[in-house]
Amino acid sequence: MTTIAVDCMGGDHGVSVTLPACHSFLQHHPEARLILVGMPDKIGTVSHPRITVVPASEVVGMDDSVEIALRKKKDSSIRVAVQQVKDGAAQAAVSAGNTGALMAISRYLLKTIDGIDRPAIATQLPNAKGGATTVLDLGANVDCTAEHLLQFAFMGSALVSALRDTSDPTVGLLNIGEEVIKGNDTIKKAGELLRAADAAGDLCFHGNVEGNDIFKGTVDIVVCDGFVGNVALKATEGVATMIGDFLRAEFSRSLWTRMAALVAYPVIASFKRRVDHRRYNGAALLGLRGLVFKSHGSADSLAFEYAMARAYDAARNQLLDRVQTRIAHARPLLAAGASAVLATSPTQENA
């Protein structure tokens, strides 16, 4: 059995979303157990044999500061859920709550893996090949060094290898062009480190990629700073919303427009499903000594169930062990002295 701790109180909708998602998840995953964390009076009576309820008397609001979450709400549902992972009662935790609070609490309780300076948020975005491209970071780290981007690449590789059962996922560095000479100093240095990691056999580095490569499926993993990654994530969600709005508008027009829309509906609906951000919900907080997954705050029950399923798959496929193994093997490149690698490469000017 794999046990997942669920923050039932987090997100925009709380138990009205998390509880139905939990019951549906258990129907589809007979080898899973759940620890439901939250206020008992909100969760209510639960009689499922694979559910345990752990009480939490406080809730971190979506607008609460990190300081309030860490210092003043020590019995919050987020904290108690992550504590289950630290104590070994659960293999992973899932929350739709305050992202900053979840990251801060997770980092405080679980600590980071040796060799990792900053945890990163990673999720999948749909691509034209019918699969998904893993992108990180998605907002945890706005300002990144070249070494941070290298760390993200190793963590992303471990995530994809665990979820897709592949040993050599390809990595691309998001840039303003494919050429090596493109980009700012941080991107150039990151490229040099990634090429060194590829030469050492630690990564399968494809090279620089551009924004459209995320959705073309050019590589399995795209590495970028948190500012750019978050913009890409929100843009993808906007596309799905736009398609839904388009379908509703077309069916409300004239009879001939409705007939044309009916003819095109199967194709449009199929595309809408492929880019439906709910199916890709569930971002991994990578770099911690425990598995924590973040659901979108506005997730409905279907989206939250997908986030739980992603956490379940990561736990069953030993994601944490894979991350630690890759980081340990690549420690020479990740060490503080990694800049010495750069000293051997001439700095090239931007085109």
Q: Is the pLDDT of residue 348 over 90?
A: no
The whole-number pLDDT of residue 268 equals 59
- Work out the pLDDT band at 341, boundaries 50, 70, 90: very low
The whole-number pLDDT of residue 261 equals 63
Residue 184 lies in a domain: yes
The whole-number pLDDT of residue 257 equals 67
Q: Which of 55-59, 118-122, 174-178, 232-236 has the highest mean pLDDT?
A: 55-59
Domain hosting 34: range is 1-110
| Strands 120-126 and 283-286, sheet pairing | antiparallel
- Distance, in Å, from the CA atom of 316 to the CA atom of 279, rounded to the nearest integer, reads 20
The whole-number pLDDT of residue 270 equals 61
pLDDT digits (tens, 9 = 90+) for 195-207: 999 998 889 999 9
Closest by CA position to 286, among listed 175, 152, 189: 152
To which H or E segment does residue 38 belong?
Answer: strand 32-38
155 and 218: one domain?
yes
Instruction: Tell me how many domains the chain contains.
Output: 2
Contact status, residue 229 vs residue 139, Cβ threshold 8 Å: yes
Extract the tokens encoding 216: 């073309």
pLDDT digits (tens, 9 = 90+) for 286-336: 999 999 999 999 999 999 999 999 999 999 999 999 888 888 887 777 774
CATH, residue 140: 3.40.718.10
Helices and strands (H, E) in the chain, number of each type? 14, 11
277 and 247: one domain?
yes
Contact status, residue 209 vs residue 173, Cβ threshold 8 Å: yes
pTM of the model: 0.85
Q: What is the mean pLDDT of residues 227-232?
A: 87
- Distance, in Å, from the CA atom of 148 to the CA atom of 141, rounded to the nearest integer, reads 9
> Is 328 in a helix, a strand, or coil?
helix
- Distance, in Å, from the CA atom of 141 to the CA atom of 191, rounded to the nearest integer, reads 18
Q: Which of 110, 132, 165 is the last residue of a domain?
A: 110
Q: Is the pLDDT of residue 5 over 90?
A: yes
Q: What is the mean pLDDT of residues 39-61?
A: 95
